[in-house]
């Protein structure tokens, strides 16, 4: 899966093999099944995530229990809850998988 992320990075910036090795050492691959959550409302988001395969949706439930979809994250797309990560406060969003997928993620700030 890192190869997908590597190809994406190479389209955005010139990187040496040493740079790519460092980035790969900081990344983890997480495989999720359909309807498995990458983030649930109330959790603090701690990762920068890149969707290698599959599709995610970001949504929240309002006071009436209605679902509000805020984002779909397709393949080759960054996703997460930046507000929760920066503030270290619980997220109001949930992010389940729509179809089986893999994400490449790193703890927030490692790429800083």
d(CA 42, CA 30): 20
Domain ranges in the chain?
Answer: 2-107
End-to-end Cα spacing for the chain: 22
Please name which of 103, 99, 109 lies closest in space to residue 34, comparing C-alpha atoms: 99
pLDDT in tens, the chain (112 residues): 889 999 999 999 999 999 999 999 888 888 888 888 888 888 898 888 888 888 888 888 888 989 898 888 899 998 888 888 899 999 888 876 565 566 666 655 555 5
- pTM assigned to the model: 0.78
Please enumerate, as own/partner, the contacts of 19-23 that have beta carbons within 8 Å and a separation of 24 or more. Answer: 23/111
d(CA 39, CA 60): 11
Instruction: Please state which architecture CATH assigns to domain 2-107.
Output: Sandwich (2.60)
């Amino acid at each position: 899966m890192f190869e997908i992320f590597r190809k994406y990075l190479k389209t955005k910036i010139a990187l040496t093999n040493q740079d790519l090795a460092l980035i790969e050492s900081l990344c983890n691959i997480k495989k999720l099944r359909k309807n498995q959550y990458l983030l649930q409302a109330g959790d603090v988001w701690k990762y920068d995530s890149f969707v290698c395969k599959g599709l995610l949706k970001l949504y929240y439930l309002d006071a009436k229990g209605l679902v509000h979809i805020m984002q779909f994250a397709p393949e080759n797309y960054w996703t997460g809850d930046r507000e929760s990560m920066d503030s270290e406060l619980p997220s109001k969003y949930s992010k389940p998988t729509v179809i089986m997928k893999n994400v490449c993620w790193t703890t927030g700030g490692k790429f800083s």
